[in-house]
Each structure stands twice: as structure tokens, then as C-alpha cells.
Amino acid sequence: MLLAIDIGNTNISFAIFKGKRIIKSWDIPVKEYRGIRTFGEPIKEALICSVVPRMTQKISSAIKKITGIKPKIIGKDIGVPLKNLYQKPKQLGPDRLMNAYAASQIYSTPIIVVSCGTAITVDAVSENKEFLGGFIIPGLRSSLATLNLSTALLPKIKLIPAKRTLGRNTPACILNGTTLGSAAAIDALIERICFKTGKNTKVIGTGGDTDLIKRFCRYKIKADRELVLKGISLLYKNLF
């Protein structure tokens, strides 16, 4: 069985695959990670996609201790078979590349991947399955935290579902403004990409905050929160 791990800035996602099927999956907030005791299933191989180097080493060591298997790190031990048109390809985050790869394999191209997490990324894959580039803007939690830290009077706001209304108190103004503003920005970025890729370009949404944002977007966004994990499974199948 394959153990797939997606290490993000906010959450660590685990999935155990039997063939193409996920038989077990779970998330651990990065701040709450205290180690791993067991996986409950026999693991044949482990692959990690990570944007947090300090956590990569911790989790890799834990997996090797439990299973005897040294995990392979995507971007270091394994390349992603997707043509990358970034000016400096090594600067592209492995999560963005894996999202693009997974979307290009699972769905038809051209395609746009909107990932809503600590940062919001909007990336494009051409009809020929090339990573064209994209955009990065602050995520919801990052925006809320910045408003609180950068001002004297604006309060710290808990992220909850927003409403499509004018705020009538400061917390509502911040929450609704941040969420609807992010949705409007995503719409504008999708529209700009579609000038290049065509009006029939599909849009896939992933990341923990996707559902909070996509319902306010004009563009239809299909949610697939396990996109990176599915991409890891596809990569394993195609390379091993």
C-alpha cells in the first residue's frame, strides 16, 4: 500500500492508497503535530509532497522508524512529469506543481487550479499539459491576521462562513470583505487566464478554505480537496 503525505503550512494530510482507492485518510494541523505511532496498514512505499522543510524531516524520520521505509520526497527524489514553463522551474512550489499534474491527469485540459489555503494560488495548465504559471494572493487566514497585526483598532477575527451582505459591525465587515474580496479576486484572475487558455477552461478548487470561497465566485469551481494526494498516487503508479 502507498502512504501519501501532503505537508502544507497549516495542515498535514495523510492518505493510504490500495491501488487507486483511498482506504484511510486524515489531517493533522501542523501546530498540533506530536509524532506518529502507527498507520494500521502495511506500507509498501511512502511519498511526501511538502512546502515545510522542517516538518519534512520530522515526518520522514517517523515513517522510517515505524515502517522501515525511507519516504521519497517529491521535487528532490522524484520529479513531476509535467512540462514546467516557470522561468526558474525549481522555484515553483511542489504543491502547486502536484496540483497541476493531478488536475491534468484526472480532468481534461486546459484547466485552472485554485488552491485556497494559507495562500491562494490560481494556476493554469495548457491544453498540451504544460504548467503555464499563475498568481499568488494572501489566503483568508493570512488576510485576517494581517489586518489585526497591522492596525491599532481592528480586532482579530475567527474564520467562519461569510454572508453576501454589507457588514453592519466591524467583525462582519472584515469577514465578509475578506471572503467576498478574495472570491472577486479569484474570479478576475480566472478570467485573465481564460483569455489565454480559452473560455472552455475548467476550474478545480482545492485546499481547506475552498468551500468558504467558491460559493461567492461567479465561475463554477469543482472542489477536489484531495488533489495533491491523488496526484501522489498517480505519480507512484506512473513511475514505479
Establish whether the linkage from the previous residue to 42 is cis, with ω within 30° of 0: no
What is the C-alpha separation between 55 and 41, in angstroms, rounded?
22
- Measured in whole angstroms, the distance separating CA 154 from the mean position of its chain's CA atoms is 29
Task: Judge whether 123 counts as a catalytic residue.
Answer: no
**What does R_g of the chain's alpha carbons equal in angstroms?**
19
In this structure, which long-range contacts are made by residues 220-223, counting pairs with CB atoms below 8 Å and at least 24 apart in sequence?
221/114, 222/107
Residues 238 and 232: their CA atoms lie apart, in Å, by 10
The closest of 124, 143, 222, 223 to 182, measured between CA atoms, is 143
**Which of the residues 95, 123, 209, 224 is marked catalytic?**
95
- Contact indicator for 12, 5 with CB cutoff of 8 Å: yes
Which positions are catalytic? 95
